[in-house]
Amino acid sequence: MNNLTDVLHIHYPIIQGGMGNISNAPLTAAISEAGALGTIGAGTMGVEEVEGMIIETKKRTGKPFALNIPISITPHLKEMIRLVVTHGIPVVSLSAGNPAPFIPYFHEHNVKVICVVASKRQGKKAEEAGADIIVAEGYEAAGINSSLETTTLALIPQLVDTVKIPVVAAGGIGDGRGLASMLALGASGVQMGTRFIATKEAPFHENYKAALIDAQDDSTVIVGRSVGRVRRVMKTPYADHLLQQEQKGVPLKEFSRMTSEDYHRVGALEGKLDQGFINGGQVSGLVSDVPTVKELVERMMNDAHIIFTKLSGGNVKS
């Protein structure tokens, strides 16, 4: 146990990142059942869809899970906040906006608040606003990213030196080595999204999982720089199409339409990689198999333990 697992009442210091509109109950529940913290991402989904997912997740696990609410993205902010309290979800993750106005309300209802940040300044403001935990996301991460382009390796130690609450590292982490390295930098745990895609419980299209298995170190690409909407995705025919449109000077409104969650679902759930995109972090090149969530989590913890044991000069039992 460490300060993160104590606060969240979980067994392992691993959190699932919010996956927007491809979130689902089977994967969220499996991650929580494995001893980590599963997360449902509200994305731009409707209230009934998210509520149904919450109810199904509670049927599948009695362990803690979180709801990620992207403040400036969800069209149903008040309703998503209500769902957290109504269904007794013990943890909320707030991203893509200012969390300060909402933290007191969640604390009044005994909900722990995670704030996703990309800089020291954002982390300090989140702490001052009352956040219980900070997730610091580096530029290696999949999906919508910060225009600051600060890497996880550089961000984590600086943020750990800035705040007193637990810091969770996100971006570029997919195995026990990544977990050990972030703990060594002072983080209390890690958040992962990409690596959880390639698991048996994840109900995503096999084309998505195959793209991760086949990925090399240069298999992701940044789109959206030209319009100020930085997003890391897997290199696919649709990603090429997005880059071509940027070269032609696509306006922000049209680019936003082409990278909406509708096109995310087409790629991730339907496997049509020429008609929709799939998010993928730079860790994609490390993905080489499709284990169960439990196997992945336990393997990561065991590998991290072996690393620390070796570094401390101890003997590792085979």
pLDDT for position 297: 98
Question: Considering the domain boundaries, does residue 176 fall inside one?
Answer: yes
**Do 161 and 221 belong to one domain?**
no
Question: Considering the domain boundaries, does residue 124 fall inside one?
Answer: yes
Domain with 170, as residue range(s), is 3-203+288-310
User: Residue 204: helix, strand or coil by DSSP?
Assistant: coil
**Do 228 and 132 belong to one domain?**
no
Question: Considering the domain boundaries, does residue 317 fall inside one?
Answer: no
| Contacts of residue 15, Cβ cutoff 8 Å, sequence gap at least 6 | 8, 36, 37, 39, 66, 114, 135, 168, 189, 190, 191, 192
Mean pLDDT score, 248-274: 97
Angle at 67 between CA 11 and CA 15, to 5 degrees: 35
Contact 16, 196 (CB under 8 A): yes
Query: What is the distance of C-alpha 220 from the center of its chain?
Result: 16
Rounded distance between C-alpha atoms, residue 109 and residue 172, angstroms: 34
Residue 1: band (very low, low, confident or very high) from pLDDT cuts 50, 70, 90: very low
Q: Which residues of the chain form beta strands (DSSP E)?
A: 14-16, 38-41, 65-70, 91-95, 112-117, 133-137, 143-144, 167-170, 189-192, 220-223, 231-234
The percent of residues above 90 in pLDDT, for the chain, comes to 95
Q: Quickly count: other Cβ atoms within 10 Å of residue 108's Cβ.
A: 9
Domain count, the chain: 2
Q: Quickly count: other Cβ atoms within 10 Å of residue 58's Cβ.
A: 15
**Do 234 and 174 belong to one domain?**
no
**Do 112 and 253 belong to one domain?**
no
Q: In what order do the strands lie in the sheet with 167-170?
A: 14-16, 189-192, 167-170, 133-137, 112-117, 91-95, 65-70, 38-41
Flag whether pLDDT at 85 surpasses 90.
yes
Question: Considering the domain boundaries, does residue 316 fall inside one?
Answer: no
Rounded distance between C-alpha atoms, residue 206 and residue 200, angstroms: 10
Q: What are phi and psi of 295, to 5 degrees?
A: -60, -40
Question: Considering the domain boundaries, does residue 44 fall inside one?
Answer: yes
Flag whether pLDDT at 199 surpasses 80.
yes
Flag whether pLDDT at 2 surpasses 80.
no
**HSE of 57 in the Cβ direction (CA atoms, 13 Å)?**
29
Task: Give residue 185's identity as a one-letter amino acid code.
Answer: L
**Do 148 and 182 belong to one domain?**
yes
Mean pLDDT score, 179-206: 98
Task: Give residue 238's identity as a one-letter amino acid code.
Answer: Y
**Do 169 and 136 belong to one domain?**
yes
Q: Quickly count: other Cβ atoms within 10 Å of residue 161's Cβ.
A: 10
Contact 155, 138 (CB under 8 A): yes
Rounded distance between C-alpha atoms, residue 143 and residue 230, angstroms: 8
Q: What is the pLDDT of residues 138-177, one digit of tens each?
A: 999 999 888 889 999 999 999 999 999 999 999 999 999 9
**Do 294 and 261 belong to one domain?**
no
Which helix (DSSP H) or strand (DSSP E) does residue 105 occupy? helix 103-108
**Do 198 and 249 belong to one domain?**
no
Place of tokens 């080595």: 177
Q: What is the pLDDT of residues 36-77, one digit of tens each?
A: 999 999 999 999 999 999 999 999 999 999 999 999 999 999
